[in-house]
Structure 1
């Protein structure tokens, strides 16, 4: 005779309240169908360049399989410091202000957990990366959403920022170049926000994972502006610029007191980032710039092709200045983002992501990654044009 043990619900109320990723539903549906062209995955279609793979293989052959320092290999942190200073004019001390993490995602998580007390509000610039809201909630915080629009190229304005600040506001988090819109901010545009940030003593979490993927000009980091380094937590990694998504390697830079707090969490939850991935990243920073530049040029060409293609078939689309996403409006079709994406998948076998997955500001749009071959992009646009013809 079996005994059934009665237990209370084993999941916390916070975890129960989290919604499953809206991106995954379309990926899972697309994976069950044959002949689908996916413009949904936020991942380079390039294989990690050989020099990085070889460095990792060589480290394994030499038996470098032990833990590194909790903060990451010091030579890698030194190279990160040199790289950020040279490319983005922001300098961090490698021993006290740089922490190597298991992807930029871990860096976002520990940054929020390190600074938030229960009930603290975090301003989230929308449309935004899908993990920001749930990770804020898991850290005990309350997300407050700031709207950007295609009309202002998805840039954050001083008016929108000021309007949403309360006595509970602790920090603001954003990703520029932006996922999913490809929007960017210039140094002059950042400067219009600084008086508000300083007036309300806000902390800034700047997700700069797409910083290298800009077209026509260099990325401007908010951390490089006067007075901003000490109140900014800068997050980046190797996934996008160096085609190293599966290696799971990122880093976070902050003032020594903030970094020490994040290091505590990292020590207890991750210990250290994978040694073999750190060796590959070290090679990327020392000798992988030319590989990176070739990939960026390819993305630039694809961006131009895709944006022109969307406009040709009747979809309004702003020209993204960074990342590898286009965010066309489908409002003219009379369909919602989800309806359009589902119709496109089921009728023409093209997978895109509904814009409202990235927040209310994404309604009426779809995210299309152009990190795929020109041949696939051409076929996808042909299929989308057929659908648009039927809808019109």
Structure 2
């Protein structure tokens, strides 16, 4: 019966990140720097709020868009943090993680034959959904521009078929982000065109050297903002995403969301309410620790003479392969075989990621030291 499966689905590949993680998971003694998941526990007060929600029978369907109280808190949160203004009644949707937000957004705005501009290299979660919508992902090469998708690069890729530009900043896998001036330039380029901006800002609370700015500040009418609590509050398994868009767009996204999941988990929504109110600054101590880890990893990689762009957000380094290696998969397999350290091959993040590998530093300092010692030993052996 497989021949009856939707061919667009059959073409989809498992994420290269997970594929490599699964490939090396059973190698005993391996230190993994592969997964972008905070190593901090969910803050206690958030877990207590979830327990209380169960005890108080918050175990039924919510409004399709989420509890109004939570949407009000989310609206207040982005206004306080990023000076964005959205009406909680009809411009905020609570999704089942930011991943569902990506899915329902693309299925709302894309039609067959559309094109979506993505910065390459980029998180692999966009391309499959774009293709399942019958649209085409168009990768804009950012490797010679510090991994930043700026207006001058975007302009080269815009065609009559362009329907959306994805701005995933801070970036997975590179950790870079855009400045306010760069965002203003993009806004001016796109303003008035029949092009949406999908601003994936899931790492917005993990920006180190500048204040996070959203392009929605300058181009709200054409922008869909995705955020969530997975990275900021160490709530990956709770599956709470937050989608913000003008009502002209959000009213249609809500229909797709409704028929997709009905609503996000009621218990997780009550936990999210605690996160966005009493815990609105929960990310700050985590960010301080990530900043220390970033400096440590940066100094170690520099001492190994590896070519890197210093990240200013998220918790990743995207590292150029050392001389002597031409395949990112070959490098990563050899590293895990010889020294039992797992990192992600760069080609997991599109063909423009070939020639690089990704390190996640969402791990303890002790783990990072052990892994980097092994990477250093590997480079000395294979010099």
User: How many angstroms apart in 2 are the aligned matches of 1:80 and 1:9?
Assistant: 44
**1:209 aligned onto 2:181:** no
SS where residue 323 of structure 2 aligns?
A: helix
* Conserved? CA contact 1:52–1:281, under 8 Å: yes
Which of residues 96, 101, 104 in structure 2 aligns to 1:107? 101
Of residues 76-85 and 185-194 in structure 1, the stretch that sits farther from structure 2 once superposed is 185-194
Taking structure 1 as the reference length, what is the TM-score of the superposition? 0.95
* Conserved? CA contact 2:92–2:244, under 8 Å: yes
Matches within 5 A, 1:222-233: 222-225=215-218, 228-233=219-224
SS where residue 166 of structure 2 aligns?
A: strand
Unaligned runs of 5+ in 1: 1-6
Taking structure 2 as the reference length, what is the TM-score of the superposition? 0.97
Give the CA deviation at 1:331: 4.2
Residue 4 of structure 1: aligned partner = none
Render the CA deviation track for 1:118-166: whole Å, top value 9, x for unaligned. 11111111211111110101122111111112x4321113232111111
Of residues 359-368 and 319-328 in structure 1, the stretch that sits farther from structure 2 once superposed is 359-368
SS where residue 282 of structure 2 aligns?
A: helix
SS where residue 105 of structure 2 aligns?
A: helix
**1:141 aligned onto 2:132:** no
SS where residue 108 of structure 2 aligns?
A: helix
Which of residues 302, 327, 336 in structure 2 aligns to 1:336? 327
User: How many angstroms apart in 1 are the aligned matches of 2:381 and 2:75?
Assistant: 53
CA RMSD of aligned residues (A): 1.2
Render the CA deviation track for 1:93-135: whole Å, top value 9, x for unaligned. 0011000000000000000000111111111112111111101
**1:218 aligned onto 2:211:** yes
**1:34 aligned onto 2:28:** yes
Give the CA deviation at 1:377: 0.2
User: How many angstroms apart in 1 are the aligned matches of 2:229 and 2:28?
Assistant: 32
**1:59 aligned onto 2:53:** yes
Change (3 A) 1:8 1:235: closer
User: How many angstroms apart in 1 are the aligned matches of 2:324 and 2:303?
Assistant: 15
SS where residue 99 of structure 1 aligns?
A: strand
Give the CA deviation at 1:171: 0.9
SS where residue 237 of structure 2 aligns?
A: helix
Matches within 5 A, 1:1-392: 9-149=3-143, 151-198=144-191, 200-225=193-218, 228-392=219-383
Give the CA deviation at 1:334: 2.6
* Conserved? CA contact 1:128–1:174, under 8 Å: no
User: How many angstroms apart in 2 are the aligned matches of 1:216 and 1:229?
Assistant: 25
User: How many angstroms apart in 1 are the aligned matches of 2:181 and 2:159?
Assistant: 25
Unaligned runs of 5+ in 2: none
User: How many angstroms apart in 1 are the aligned matches of 2:335 and 2:357?
Assistant: 11
Q: Which runs of 4+ in 1 moved over 4 A?
A: none
* Conserved? CA contact 2:61–2:263, under 8 Å: yes
Length, aligned pairs only: 383
* Conserved? CA contact 2:151–2:182, under 8 Å: no
* Conserved? CA contact 1:307–1:318, under 8 Å: no
* Conserved? CA contact 1:124–1:172, under 8 Å: yes
Render the CA deviation track for 1:67-109: whole Å, top value 9, x for unaligned. 1100000011001111101110111000110000000000000
User: How many angstroms apart in 2 are the aligned matches of 1:104 and 1:315?
Assistant: 33
User: How many angstroms apart in 2 are the aligned matches of 1:331 and 1:187?
Assistant: 33
Give the CA deviation at 1:220: 0.9
SS where residue 287 of structure 1 aligns?
A: coil
SS where residue 3 of structure 2 aligns?
A: coil
Give the CA deviation at 1:290: 4.0
* Conserved? CA contact 1:65–1:275, under 8 Å: yes
Give the CA deviation at 1:233: 0.3
Give the CA deviation at 1:197: 1.0
Residue 3 of structure 1: aligned partner = none
Give the CA deviation at 1:232: 0.1
